[in-house]
Amino acid sequence: MPNLKQLMTELLAVDQIDAQSIERLKQELYADGKIDRAEADFLVELHKRVQRPAGPAWEKFFYKAIKDHILADGSIDAEETGWLRQMLYADGTIDEEERKFLHELRGEARQVSPEFEKLFAECMAEPHEARTSGGGGRGSPPRDRHSLYVTSRPRSRRKARAVASSARIRARSWPRSRNTS
């Protein structure tokens, strides 16, 4: 088994988990063919502390290694479920990657405990994370121009231009108001 403290120090010193770091982790952690609890704890701590993962390869490796640890005997018992609960709720929320991970665990396990089923149900009931980059999630403004027009019809041409440009709709698509006074 590798010296995990030294490995953690070396990986955090470069402040980035790249393809070369992932290869090193695979060689070190899978040297005996499996991921034991100490190595899984190490990966969870590294996952929490790494500041700049280099793309999705790190996440893919992390969740695969944890899955290999949990499903070593093909089943998920109450003790493993408690460990999973601590890992998943360490940041206080359940994100999409963690939901996907739980689905994979549930689908690949030959047997799961009632505690795991309860954890699974709780995590699936968690609210989805809000998207702030225009991903179209809950709370996002409507995407189609007709609903935008109906919900936020401007009262002046100046406001019409501002709304139109922000929504990438040309100002001439807005009807001009008639002044009857």
Q: How confident is the model at residue 11 (pLDDT cuts 50, 70, 90)?
A: confident
How many other CB atoms are there within 10 angstroms of residue 112's CB atom?
17
**Are the C-beta atoms of 29 and 66 separated by less than 8 Å?**
no
Residues in the chain: 181
Q: How confident is the model at residue 140 (pLDDT cuts 50, 70, 90)?
A: very low
Angle between helices 37-49 and 56-70 (to 10 degrees): 150
Q: What confidence tens digit (pLDDT) does each residue in 22-48 have?
A: 999 999 999 999 999 999 999 999 988
What are the tokens at 57? Answer: 């390869």
Dump the DSSP string for 8-62: HHHHHHTT-B-HHHHHHHHHHHTTTSS--HHHHHHHHHHHHH-S-B-SHHHHHHH
How many other CB atoms are there within 10 angstroms of residue 1's CB atom?
10
Q: Tell me, what's the pLDDT at 99?
A: 95
